[in-house]
């Protein structure tokens, strides 16, 4: 990067810009002055160097604090220029100093747990519900961690000298329950709060502005946005990012450069996609809440494109009957997806814990895409059919009623 492009890049990093502008330009600010429009994809796994002494010094520096090595790249596990562009862009969108990308959301969460465990802080305080595999990772102690499950009000009392992390997801998967992140961050004291922001994305909330130190995304979902890339990312301060890079280097949970390119491309349309899908979701919530075949609708005050609803009849019949909507796990794609959490995403959670967290056997989770509202409603209406007619129950949760 020459001096002129460096100046333009630094100016962009320090000058406040609207989220929609950041989504388009962050991670790309140096391109025009290099005569480029699309970001290059660097597929190299290793990089030539005739200065082995200099390489040794840079590797030693990385071993010390995990900072990104100055100068040309060294090896793919230490970092990749294309992936670094995505990390820069995501950090700008979340309002953090840095971001570190991984091969999946679970790899990203595992790295956070390993960082804290390496410091002797193996205890985690967590609030249910979480994504099912996050719940399982903690409950099973697969990384040597110990978890205490609490309600948000019980976080402060659950903290111990060896507590390394407080973990929450808001809106939560799959019930869309919301947590007051600001109050929770206060209750955490000096213990880092990790907020899973996968459902909301930085378009709807930026947890660091409410006191969270770490923000987790399954980038497979809304950040990629097209169902064709798997990744995870943690947005955080540079000190924690350095430790995450060291864990990524040691464990190998690196993101492929092509995935980094697709994610950077996905970010450019993130605000447009989230807002369009959210508008459709809000109208579907209104119709579902008035439908006697639906017992209850869950929708967060913050809005968004995720809906959960409980039916009077067998939810598996709905899954089998949709035609336009895709019956599949995952979320955040341009097409609408529906799944039965108790059978799929949260099957790995013990039944009592699952139900205690509000994940009933009649609950369906729907990720609303970019299709026309009338086409989606026609498909849902047909899938519900006449089998689900019943006495209207609690039509909508308080979160949705406040919309």
Active-site annotation, residues: 77, 131, 196, 221
Cβ count within 10 A of residue 16: 6
The residues, any chain, with a CB within 8 Å of residue 212's CB and separated by 6 or more, are 181, 185, 193, 194, 195
What gap in Å lies between CA 261 and CA 317, rounded to an integer?
A: 39
Give me the helices (H) in 118-174, please: 132-139, 155-158
Tokens of 380: 């849902």
Angle, alpha carbons 72-73-75 (nearest 5°):
155
- For residue 290, the tally of other CB atoms under 10 A from its CB is 12
First vs last C-alpha separation in the chain: 47
88 has which bridge partners?
Answer: none
Specify whether the CB–CB gap between 355 and 342 falls below 8 A. Answer: no
Strand segments, DSSP code E, in 83-162 are 98-102, 123-127, 146-150
Q: How far is CA 229 from CA 68, 226, 242, 256, 262, in A?
A: 24, 8, 25, 10, 7
Measured at the alpha carbon of residue 240, what is the angle toward residues 196 and 58, in degrees to the nearest 5? 135
Cα angle 142, 153, 99 (rounded to 5 degrees) comes to 50
Q: Who contacts 158 (Cβ-Cβ below 8 Å, separation ≥6)?
A: 125, 148, 150
CA angle 135, 360, 216 (to 5 degrees): 30
H helix or E strand, kind and range, residue 359? none
Q: Which of 76, 79, 80, 90 is nearest to 28 (CA)?
A: 90
Residue 208's closest CA among 177, 249, 240? 240
118: tokens are: 């390496």
Residue written as token pair 């950090």: 91
Tokens 């729907």 belong to 366
Helix (H) or strand (E) holding 336: none
């Amino acid at each position: 990067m020459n001096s002129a492009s460096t100046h333009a890049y630094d100016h962009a990093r320090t000058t406040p810009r609207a989220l929609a502008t950041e989504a388009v330009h962050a991670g790309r600010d140096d391109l025009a002055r290099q005569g480029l429009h699309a970001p290059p994809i660097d597929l190299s796994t290793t990089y030539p160097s005739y200065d082995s002494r200099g390489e040794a010094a840079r590797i030693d520096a990385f071993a010390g604090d995990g900072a990104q090595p100055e100068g040309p790249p060294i090896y793919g596990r230490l970092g990749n220029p294309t992936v670094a562009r995505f990390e820069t862009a995501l950090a700008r969108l979340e309002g953090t100093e840095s971001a570190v990308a991984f091969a999946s959301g679970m790899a990203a969460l595992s790295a956070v747990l390993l960082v804290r465990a390496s410091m002797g802080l193996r205890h985690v305080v967590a609030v249910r519900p979480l994504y099912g595999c996050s719940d399982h990772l903690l409950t099973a102690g697969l990384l040597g961690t110990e978890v205490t499950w609490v309600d948000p009000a019980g976080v402060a009392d659950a903290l111990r000298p060896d507590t390394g992390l407080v973990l929450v997801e808001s809106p939560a998967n799959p019930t869309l329950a919301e947590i007051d992140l600001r109050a929770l961050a206060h209750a955490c004291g000096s213990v880092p709060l990790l907020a899973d922001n996968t459902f909301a994305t930085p378009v709807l909330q930026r947890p660091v502005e409410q006191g969270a130190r770490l923000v987790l995304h399954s980038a497979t979902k809304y950040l990629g946005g097209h169902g064709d890339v798997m990744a995870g990312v943690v947005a955080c301060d540079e000190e924690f990012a350095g430790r995450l890079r060291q864990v990524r280097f040691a464990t190998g949970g690196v993101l492929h450069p092509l995935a980094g390119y697709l994610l950077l491309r996905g970010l450019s349309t993130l605000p447009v996609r989230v807002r369009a899908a959210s508008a459709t979701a809000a109208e579907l919530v209104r119709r579902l809440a008035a439908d006697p075949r639906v017992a209850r609708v869950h929708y967060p005050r913050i809005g968004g494109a995720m809906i959960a609803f409980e039916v009077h009849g067998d939810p598996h019949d709905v899954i089998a009957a949709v035609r336009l909507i895709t019956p599949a796990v995952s979320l955040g794609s341009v097409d609408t997806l529906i799944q039965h959490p108790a059978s799929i995403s949260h099957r790995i959670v013990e039944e009592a814990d699952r139900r205690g967290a509000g994940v009933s056997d009649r609950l369906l989770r729907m990720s609303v895409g970019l299709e026309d509202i009338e086409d989606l409603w026609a498909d849902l209406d047909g899938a519900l059919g006449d089998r689900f007619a019943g006495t209207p129950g609690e039509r909508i949760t308080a979160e949705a009623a406040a919309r």
